[in-house]
């Protein structure tokens, strides 16, 4: 598992050098128009998407077929993708929190009462979208995988809208969405691992 994580980290290392400065420029611009805590959501989503991109990189390089002859279960290979997604998303959350706090202190505009809300939005967005985008990318061909990525984030935003209509209290919506995200992500991890274990790689 450690070797698989190192492989994916190597795949994303050069992209991180581009994504992080881009995040800072875009994030600072957005935070001027909105709350500084939106940076936590932006960075969590951006780094999570990088983890998803490693699935297609494995397919295009033929590594997915090669892994079939390694002493690794297919469930373990799938599990590494889900774990790597969580690690990068957590790193994005931490980076966004640090940058958002710095921007809040410098601008004097950040409301600490909103921090909890945006943390739960970041967590739930990552889990809900990852729970959809990862299995679609792992199980299907590139065209469908791209569609899955495009739909995963609007669908997770749709969950927020629906919960807000049903509950009406923002803080409660964030907590409920996070719980739903944990459930969806866990089920997605388990079911995708089971499906890949039964599939012959060609």
Which residue ranges make up each domain of the chain? 2-198
The predicted pLDDT at position 54 comes to 84
**Structure confidence by residue, pLDDT tens digits, 161-181:** 888 888 878 778 888 999 999
pLDDT for 134 beyond 80: yes
CA distances from 79 to 38, 43, 60, 178 (A): 29, 23, 20, 21
pLDDT class of 10 with cuts at 50, 70, 90: confident
3-state SS class at 78:
helix
- pLDDT above 60 (res 200): no
pTM for the model: 0.85
The predicted structure's pLDDT at residue 168: 77
* Choice among 78-92, 118-132, 152-166 with the minimum mean pLDDT: 152-166
Q: How far apart are CA 78 and CA 3, in angstroms?
A: 14
Q: d(Cα 174, Cα 16) in Å, to the nearest integer?
A: 28
Inform me whether the pLDDT recorded for 182 exceeds 90. Answer: yes
Instruction: Give the separation between CA 151 and CA 167, rounded to whole angstroms.
Output: 24
The pLDDT tens digits for 53-104 are 888 877 777 656 655 556 667 778 888 899 999 999 999 999 888 888 887 7
Instruction: Name the token pair of 63.
Output: 């590594």
Q: How far apart are CA 144 and CA 89, in angstroms?
A: 23
Looking at the chain, the whole-number percentage of residues with pLDDT higher than 90 is: 21
How far, in Å, CA of 118 to CA of 174, rounded? 8
């Amino acid at each position: 598992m450690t070797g698989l994580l190192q492989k994916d980290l190597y795949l994303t290392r050069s992209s991180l050098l581009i994504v992080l400065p881009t995040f800072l420029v875009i994030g600072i611009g957005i935070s001027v128009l909105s709350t500084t805590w939106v940076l936590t959501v932006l960075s969590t989503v951006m780094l999570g998407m990088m983890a998803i991109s490693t699935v297609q990189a494995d397919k295009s390089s033929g590594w997915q077929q090669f892994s079939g002859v390694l002493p690794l279960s297919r469930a373990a290979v799938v599990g590494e993708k889900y774990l790597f997604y969580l690690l990068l998303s957590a790193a994005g959350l931490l980076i966004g929190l640090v940058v958002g706090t710095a921007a809040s202190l410098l601008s004097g505009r950040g409301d600490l009462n909103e921090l909890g809300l945006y943390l739960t939005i970041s967590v739930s967005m990552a889990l809900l979208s990852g729970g959809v985008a990862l299995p679609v990318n792992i199980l299907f061909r590139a065209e469908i995988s791209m569609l899955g990525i495009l739909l995963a984030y609007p669908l997770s935003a749709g969950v927020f809208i629906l919960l807000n209509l049903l509950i009406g209290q923002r803080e409660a919506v964030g907590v409920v969405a996070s719980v739903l995200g944990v459930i969806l992500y866990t089920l997605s991890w388990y079911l995708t691992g089971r499906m890949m274990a039964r599939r012959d790689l060609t």
